[in-house]
Amino acid sequence: MKKNYDVVIFGGGLAGLTLSLQLKKENENISILVLEKREGDALDAAHKVGESTVELGTHYLREVLDLKDYLEEKQLPKHGLRFFFSPEHKNDIDKRVELGPRELLPVPSHQIDRGTFENDLIGIVRAKGVEVELGAKVTATEPTENGHSTIYSKDKEEINLSSKWIVDATGRNSFLKRKLKLKQDLDHGISSAWFRIKGEIDVDDWSENKDWSSYVKPGLRRLSTVHFMDKGYWIWFIPLATGNTSVGIVADPAIHPFDTYNKLDKAFEWFKKNEPIVYKNLIDKKEDILDFKVLKHFAHSCEKLYSTERWAITGESGLFLDPFYSPGTDFIALNNAFVGDLILRDLKGEDIDLRINVFERTHYAWFENWIPIYQNKYKLWGKTQTMVWKIFWDWAIYWSVHTLLFTNHGYTNIMVLRNLFAKDNCAGEKFGQLNQQMQKLLLEWGEFDDEAFENNYIDPFDIPFLQDFHRGIDEQHSPRELVKKVEDNVKILEHIAVEMFKLMSRKVYGTSMNLKVDPYIMTLSKKLNENENGLATDEGIKNDVAVMWFYKG
């Protein structure tokens, strides 16, 4: 083993291992050491959460890291996210409003067994020349004249080495963040308990109703990340390639106190009370449970992520918000894109001061944009219309801007970032404001959304603008075209917001569907009058939005 590296990565979890692969793919001559404290192989199935990927993170794994063949051979294809609402019908899955794709989505995603994946990734990165030291716990690091010296312990020995760069990817241990006192608390106390259970669980088997089963081809419901939802919580079911199933509860402690489900027996009592159909279908399998884990108040932030002193923080070690929509791998992908770009340029001798500044600002802007998607929203989780509205809005912004920018390398292109985020009245600024506005509006609308709905199947691909945004993820644009495309998408989002608002406002105040509305000042706290600067009706979007409106009139 050498004593001097270009890059030493602390932590060989998803973030650390994928970063090492990304760097090696770009430059095979870089010397990289990954220090992972776990000794030996990770367990199949019962290892970590982070099993469901969505489009952005999947693009990173499949295309940026070239793991497409591996994922197709060794992990499961995912049939999108699937949600069961209508908490009024908790005993009858076939009466609940269901939202999810019927057909396999054109842009793929995966269900990943994290134990198998991390074991396999170690083999993949070693084959590329990355050194991975298992049973190696980082205990100290100090800056030196040219980089850093680091100490780790292995087999009771202390080993000292040096490197130009260090990257902290120690997950919740947050080694560097703690050392540099960069931790920032987040006012979002959501907590979770989860377990893996032997064998496959297919919610298709939970009803004898053939009409209901036939909405989706046999076997496809099981491949989705299935969510059961009511006020203050959601439950996940994720299938794993090892033939097991991951099940979790995620809840707002203000509505479901953590100590009501933080032990296995309590979790089953909690199911019995809150999701009896889940209880009924799991209770006989209790003996087959492989593990049980909990995490309280997992959202956290960090004051700084990248430094001119050649350190960086990636993955859950830096920022984490909420697992609803499965965005954990997305955050890793974005963070690694920034860190990889900085390291590669620095090692080539480029000045990276400006990039550090721009990337950090962009990353925090991204994170800030995600916070209102979750914060204070769990009280809406039991409202069927509000949640259908919200999920479609959240997907629209995620596919049309967040993911599109990533798949087109926009986040590391200074020209693109400058045009979209640094100019007066730029599209990025509008996008942020519009999302804040919509999240506030959905909260207001939740107060009026009091009707129960049933027997409704809704597919995101029934809605043309969502279909276009989703398909658009895979289109490649030049940097200039990308800026234009994002600007155009923000204009479409403005129209979507306005058409959604008009339906809500008509229901609450009886206002006209021809009302001209400024999307940046919409509210349901009072009746809005015609605004001559407002947007005129876009008939196409009006019709698309109507597909996801359940109220009569």
Ligand X SMILES: Cc1cc2nc3c(=O)[nH]c(=O)nc-3n(C[C@H](O)[C@H](O)[C@H](O)COP(=O)(O)OP(=O)(O)OC[C@H]3O[C@@H](n4cnc5c(N)ncnc54)[C@H](O)[C@@H]3O)c2cc1C
What are the tokens at 366? 């991204």
Shortest Cβ 248–ligand X spacing (Å) = 6
Q: What is the DSSP string of 350-385?
A: ---HHHHHHHHHHHHHHHHHHHHHHTT-GGGTT-HH
d(CA 300, CA 298): 6
Q: At what angle do helices 464-472 and 479-509 cross, to 10 degrees?
A: 160
Shortest Cβ 236–ligand X spacing (Å) = 7
Complex with ligand X: residue 85 or 195, whichever CB lies closer:
195
The amino acid present at 279, given as its one-letter code, is Y
Complex with ligand X: residue 112 or 490, whichever CB lies closer:
112
* CB-nearest residue to ligand X: 13
Complex with ligand X: residue 264 or 492, whichever CB lies closer:
264
506 has which bridge partners?
none
d(CA 35, CA 16): 9
Shortest Cβ 247–ligand X spacing (Å) = 11
Q: What is the DSSP letter of 107?
A: S
Neighbours of 488 (CB within 10 A): 12
Shortest Cβ 121–ligand X spacing (Å) = 10
Complex with ligand X: residue 50 or 460, whichever CB lies closer:
50
Shortest Cβ 243–ligand X spacing (Å) = 18
Complex with ligand X: residue 373 or 441, whichever CB lies closer:
373
Complex with ligand X: residue 115 or 460, whichever CB lies closer:
115
533 sits in the region (left: phi over 0; alpha: psi -120 to 50; else beta) called alpha
Residues that bind ligand X (CB under 6 A): 10-16, 35-38, 48-53, 57, 137-138, 169-173, 175, 192, 248, 250, 295, 298, 315-317, 323, 326, 328-329, 332
Shortest Cβ 210–ligand X spacing (Å) = 31
d(CA 418, CA 38): 42
Shortest Cβ 171–ligand X spacing (Å) = 2
Shortest Cβ 94–ligand X spacing (Å) = 26
Per residue in 2-25, is it b (16+ CB within 10 Å) or e — as a string? eeebbbbbbbbbbbbbbbbbbbbe
- CB neighbour list of residue 28: distance below 8 Å, 6 or more residues apart: 128, 129
Residue among 385, 368, 401 nearest 450 (CA):
385
d(CA 330, CA 363): 12
Complex with ligand X: residue 95 or 177, whichever CB lies closer:
177
Long-range contacts made by residues 514-520, C-beta under 8 angstroms, separation at least 24?
519/434, 519/437, 519/494, 520/430, 520/433, 520/434, 520/437
Complex with ligand X: residue 182 or 295, whichever CB lies closer:
295
Shortest Cβ 529–ligand X spacing (Å) = 44
Complex with ligand X: residue 10 or 83, whichever CB lies closer:
10
